[in-house]
Amino acid sequence: DDLRDFAYRLGIELFESRRREGIISPLVSFVFDEADEFIPQQLERDSSYARSAWIAEMLARRGRKFGIGLAIVSQRPARVEKNVLSQCNTQVILKTTNPHDVKAIVSSVEGLTTGAVDEIQRLPIGMAVVSGLPIHAPIFVEIRVRETRHGGKGAEVVNEKKKSFGFFHMK
C-alpha cells in the first residue's frame, strides 16, 4: 500500500507541476515495474490500487504532452488495466506462454499476425518482439547481455568451497 500511495503522490505531483508550469523539458520516464501490482485489472474501490492505477492511466493518456513517458513492465499483462495497456505506443514482448497473458498481448498490440503470436510462445531467451511506433509491423530483435552488475542477487545458500548450507557446516 505504501509503494502504491508513493507512486500516486509522485505521479500526481509530477503531472500537476508540469501542467501548471507548461513544462515539457527535460523529458522524464515514469516506470511501473511489476505493473500488475500497481495497475491491476480488477480494482478494489477506494484503495491504494485504485489511486496508483488512476495516476498510471492519467500519465498514459495525457503525460506525453508534458514530457512524461510511461513504461510498464509486467510478467502478467492479463492482470494489468487494459486502458493503460492500450495507450502504450511501443511494446517489447518476451516469451509468454500463459494463454490469458497471450490474449491480453494480442488485444493490446496492433499488427500481430497469427504466426507472430505463435512465435511469442516459443521465443528463446534473449529474443523479443517489438511492436509500435514508428515500426510498421512487429519485428524480432535480440536483446544484448546486460553490461551492468546485477543488483538483485540472492543470498548464497550453499557454498561449495566451504561445503556449508546457510549457517550449518556440512561434512
Residue 146 Ramachandran class (φ > 0 left, ψ -120 to 50 alpha, else beta): beta
Better pLDDT: 115 or 97: 97
Better pLDDT: 28 or 46: 28
* pLDDT value of residue 116: 81
* pLDDT value of residue 171: 42
Q: Which three cell numbers stand for residue 121?
A: 510462445
Query: pLDDT band at 161, cuts 50/70/90?
Result: low
Better pLDDT: 167 or 61: 61
Q: For residue range 113-141, what is the model confidence (pLDDT) as tens digits?
A: 788 888 899 999 999 988 887 788 888 89
Residue 165 has pLDDT above 50, yes or no: no
Residue 91 has pLDDT above 80, yes or no: yes
Better pLDDT: 42 or 20: 20
* pLDDT value of residue 67: 93
Average pLDDT over residues 157-170: 49
pTM: 0.75
* pLDDT value of residue 150: 74
Query: pLDDT band at 9, cuts 50/70/90?
Result: very high
Average pLDDT over residues 57-62: 93
